[in-house]
Amino acid sequence: MKNLPPKSRRWAKVRIALLGTLLMAFAVAVMHRAWELQVDRAPALREMAEEQYLRRIRLAPKRGTIYDRHGAELAVSVDVDSVWANPRALRENGGDPDVIAGRLSRLLGVDRERIARRLHSDRYFVWIKRRITPQLAARVRDLDLPGVRLEREARRFYPNRQLASHVLGFANIDGVGIEGLELSLEERLRGDRRVVPAIRDRRGRVVFSEQLLDDRAAQGDDVTLTLDRTIQRIAERELALAVQTFEAKAGSVVVMDPESGEILALANYPTFDPNDPGDSPASHRRNRAVTDRFEPGSTVKPFTVAAALARGTIGPEQLIDCEDGAMQVDEYVIHDTTPHEELTPAQILAYSSNIGTAKIGGTLGRRGLYRAFRRFGFGEETGLELPGEAGGILRHFRRWYEMDAATISFGQGMSSTSVQLATAMSAIANGGRLVRPRLIGQVRDANGAVVQETHPEVRRRVVPERVARLVGDMLTAVTGPGGTAEEAAIDGYLVAGKTGTAQKADYVSGGYAEDRWLASFVGFVPAEDPRLVISVVVDEPVIAHYGGVVAGPVFRRVGEQALRHLGVPASTGGEALADHARTQRRRRRMARRIARERGDTEEAPPTPAVTRAIMPGEVAVPDLEGMTARRAVVALNEAGLRATLEGHGVVRSQLPAAGQPIPRGERVRVILQPAYAAVGREPEDALALAATESTAEGATP
């Protein structure tokens, strides 16, 4: 450059400077661009890159499992396949949306136009059909359609179908609880919904995600109920049989442990399958045991008597004037089905006297009767862990009319639910303590740790223990010979309970409907050491309507099978029957003492059998004892009844008992045995008699 002329030398320097400037500017531009890419736009570019190889998965948490008290599964979540499509990927791969829609429609049973509209959209994701069977999933996979994929989802499944469906409720297709415990325990069962990243391949399929390895992180809590699946199945079966037999509208059964308040069974009929709830009308999905209010009728009479005994307004042996079956109250008249003059509280319960109960309630006064019923839990919710529980209706005593003060004492002018009735009777069974009924035993998280556990809760003491025991002793006469609920008696056990036969209110014309009834029975067994309280309610039976005839047998069948399942030994020949004998002796002594106080010279007669006034369409059952089978059938036919014969020989016993009114056309159970066994003859002497008498095998009902 030194050999160049000065002018050329200056031009070379200018070119070098210009080149250096350009290089410097290029370097600055590169550095600026690098700064922009690596720093300023780094988050956005990183997200763009991740979208190409990462897929964000929204984890639908696996819903917790519901178990019965013994660990049997009642509601579970299982993984099934759902069909979805990427319309953009479908068209990019040369797929024809209309052709693919037709093939999927024929395979999945979904409307073709609906699928086609979704496949023609400009979206990356559309559902085709969710929660399909494994067989359909395999056929979709074999089609290998472009843009059509399968996704695993959790589906709620109820393996026992209708069993405890009203308690469990159901969840919708997105796993959200809609009714029952699925709704009330939604937060516990559903778990936490979250979004996690996963590596995918060029086809968009998930390859790996560390956060998917631990599926417990998004799992809901497991719930153990107090229900016993076996007792629940027994209650549902027997309730359905009764509703269908008596052509009733509906019914409910509650089985409860009186000491702990645990609900062992809660059955309703009609029922539904929670796996397909849409196949049943809404009325079948209603949990009648907790939502339906009804006038309990005579089933509340024990609580009136217990309250009066606790307050000391009556004595256990006091005679109450029942006014020969008719009592004037204001401008109305209260009637008893069977007229009586004077009865003790025990006889008032055995005969179910409205007049006697009204007079006992009158000794408490309006305020006292109202407070007594409130203490037994009427007029308020029990706190059971189910949605939609009704509290029943018990108006404040200041709003009672003159007639209300009398009728509420025997269960009219108020309302309750089946669960309330069982809870109140539990207070009699457990010695006077009102316990809170409960369905939830334990709640465990995904790791098995107990996060919630319920324990027996005594809300208050209702009556002293001696009063509860005394009333329970009185209630054993209801199921004894001549009681209103002989059909509720369980062989080998003492049963205490009370029947209810209430007319339903007519909300159109006012008053009570003449042809609509509600039959009920609530009781506990064994009476000397109660293990079960069972409440049975049958709504609008047609064939018969008495609580002892309709609801009593349901109590018996549920009780005897549940006791066998629980391993409760029978008391035949033991302490229970000895207690019962002592009770009967005490009552006989009471009757003799009353006779002496009256100045009678003869011993008071034994307690007569309980009978009711014969209603239209009913007939009295004839006395068949000692008759041959043929004569018994003829006698029943003449009375407008039919016979069900058991055994052979002559009549030993019958159900219903002689003199009881039952609907015309009903069957009477006739039990026969060999003639010599019935009349005390030797076998040789009986042969001549048997030769001239018909047997059950030759008789036609």
Q: How many Cβ atoms are within 10 Å of 507's Cβ, its own excluded?
A: 8
What span, in angstroms and rounded, lies between the C-alpha atoms of 263 and 601? 53
DSSP per-residue string spanning 132-171: E-HHHHHHHHHH--TTEEEEEEEEEE-TTTTTTHHHH-EE
Q: What pLDDT is recorded for position 90?
A: 82
Residues 6+ apart with CB under 8 A from 445: 221, 222, 451
Strands of 512-525's sheet in order across: 263-269, 250-256, 532-539, 512-525, 496-505
Where the chain has pLDDT below 50, the residues are 207-214, 572-578, 580-582, 584-585, 587-592, 594-611, 675-701
- What is the structure's pLDDT at 312? 92
> What confidence score (pLDDT) does residue 230 get?
95
DSSP one-letter string for 202-230: TT--EEE-GGGS-GGGGPPPEEEES--HH
Look at residue 685 in the predicted model and tell me its pLDDT. Answer: 37
Q: Which two tokens stand for residue 76?
A: 């579970």
Quick one: tokens of 595? 């006779």
Cα 206 to Cα 55, 152, 160, 210, 218: the distances in Å are 7, 12, 35, 12, 19
**Dihedral pair phi/psi, residue 16, rounded to 5°:** -65, -40
| Cβ-based neighbours of 480, under 8 Å, separated by 6 or more | 486, 489, 580
Nearest to 666 by CA among 482, 487, 520: 487
DSSP string, 539-587: ES-SS---HHHHTHHHHHHHHHHHHHHHTPPP-TTSHHHHHHHHHHHHH
Write 130-139 long-range contacts (CB < 8 A, 24+): 130/82, 130/83, 130/173, 131/80, 131/81, 131/82, 131/155, 131/173, 132/80, 132/81, 132/82, 132/83, 132/108, 133/80, 134/80, 134/81, 136/81, 136/107, 136/108, 137/80, 137/81, 137/83, 139/107
CB 456 within 8 Å of CB 261: yes
Torsions phi, psi for 246 (to 5 deg)? -95, 10
**CA 168/CA 273 separation, integer angstroms:** 11
**pLDDT value, residue 60:** 57
Contact 655, 666 (CB under 8 A): no
Q: Residue 418's closest CA among 395, 394, 439, 390?
A: 390
Cis peptide before 526 (omega within 30 of 0): yes
Per the structure block, which two tokens stand in for 102? 């037709």
Q: What's the pLDDT at 446?
A: 83
Q: What is the pLDDT of residue 354?
A: 92
What are all long-range contacts of 149-152, with beta carbons under 8 Å and residues at least 24 apart? Answer: 149/83, 149/84, 149/85, 149/86, 149/204, 150/81, 150/82, 150/83, 150/84, 151/81, 151/82, 151/83, 151/84, 152/79, 152/80, 152/81, 152/82
Cα 520 to Cα 21, 89, 555: the distances in Å are 104, 65, 10
Any idea which residue has 């049973």 for tokens?
109
Token representation of residue 598: 């009256």
Residue 346 CB-half CA count within 13 A: 24
Q: Which two tokens stand for residue 608?
A: 């007569």
**What is the predicted pLDDT for the residue at 200?**
57
Burial 651-685 (b: 16+ CB within 10 A, else e): bbebbbbebbbbbeebebebbbebbbebeeeeeee
**Of the candidates 365, 364, 343, which has an alpha carbon nearest to the alpha carbon of residue 354?**
343
Beta bridge partners of 424: none
Burial environment of residue 273 by CB neighbours within 10 A (0 to 12, 13 to 18, 19 or more): middle
Q: Could you identify the residue written with the tokens 């108020």?
A: 414
600-609 long-range Cβ contacts below 8 angstroms, 24+ apart: 607/347, 607/350, 607/482, 608/482, 609/481, 609/482, 609/657, 609/658, 609/659
Q: Comparing C-alpha atoms, which of 654, 611, 610 is closest to residue 629?
A: 654
- 126 in Cβ contact with 148 (< 8 Å): no
Look at residue 382 in the predicted model and tell me its pLDDT: 92
Concatenated DSSP letters of 408-441: GGGT-S-BB-HHHHHHHHHHHHTTSEEEPPB-EE
Asked if 85 contacts 221 with a C-beta cutoff of 8 angstroms, the reply is no
For residue 169, give the nearest of 382, 387, 381 by alpha carbon: 387
Give the tokens for residue 639. 């009375």
The single residue of 298, 409, 535, 571 carrying the catalytic annotation is: 298
Calpha distance 293→392 (Å, rounded) = 6
Q: What is the pLDDT of residue 671?
A: 82
Note whether 269 and 250 are within 8 A (CB).
yes
Distance between CA atoms of residues 491 and 576, nearest Å:
12
Backbone angles phi, psi at 271, to 5 degrees: -125, -175
418 is catalytic: no
Structure tokens at 613: 């006034």
- φ, ψ of residue 440 to 5 degrees: the values are -95, 125
How many angstroms separate the Cα of 307 from the Cα of each of 100, 261, 300, 375? 75, 21, 11, 10
